[in-house]
Amino acid sequence: MAGVCDGRIVIVTGSGRGIGRAHALAFAREGAKVVVNDLGAEVDGTGGSTGPAGEVVEEIRAAGGEAVANGDDISTTDGAANLVKTAVDAFGGLDVVVNNAGILRDRMLVNMSDEEWDAVIKVHLRGTFAPSRAAAQYWREQSKAGKEVDARIINTASPSGLYGNVGQANYGAAKAGIASFSIIAALELGRYGVTVNAIAPVALTRMTENLGMGARAADRPADAFDDTAPENISPLVVWLGSAESRGITGRVFNVAGGRISVAEGWAAGPGADKGDRWEPAELGSVIPDLVAEAAPNAGMGGQRPARA
């Protein structure tokens, strides 16, 4: 199996099902050696099974590829370190980490429990930080030893984190954090030969079937392009994991169906400078005008609404 990632060694977290599974299979088709990490948990993070990861490994091997399974909890320091060790022990190195693992505990803010907040933040945000740190430490050692490093971290944000979605304060906060984390990590790790990017995908999976995606897929004509398929997300991720993407870092990409776009992050908009400290009473005639002049926030589709 040869392709744009021929011979590259890739970790994909949360790759037993859904988008992560599609990533693992796509990397293998393009010649990568894949570590398939998955706890086999339910959508809310409870439970666990070795089955999903093992099934993906067997599918890759049956097609002539190379893969191993890993069941570590990547939101822990030890689990993340062992994940990197799995890649090095099995294949002799590491080139790409795709942080994809996630859960949902959707709830309106006024009803959200501490546990629902903490669980989502841990799996998504710490589950991105810990494997990234473990991999970065490995690559730094390789770089300092004089070895050429051409490595990638690809993180998974979400339109909910970039644009906001009702009922997902925990999930959206974690995903927004991942987007910012990716930009900062890109600034820090470039010196070691590492690029860091993120995607904000839209696809039909266990995590989105109850958010309207399932009904949308059911209404599609049988012969139409399935713009909700998880497999639509993977080509971008595989390319970002390849040597061809060396010059791309610190960016967040929207991807859904056949559409890819670059997310344009926070930027300073209209402003006013008094040249001195403001008095609160003065701002009533300043802030409303600035907000009226500013571009409106984008909606979940990533597009700004038309001005009235």
Q: Active-site residue among 15, 33, 75, 175?
A: 175
Catalytic residue status for 192: no
Q: Active-site residue among 138, 171, 234, 242?
A: 171
Catalytic residue status for 33: no
Q: Active-site residue among 15, 75, 132, 158?
A: 158
- How distant is the alpha carbon of residue 28 from its chain centre? 19
Catalytic residue status for 158: yes
Catalytic residues: 158, 171, 175
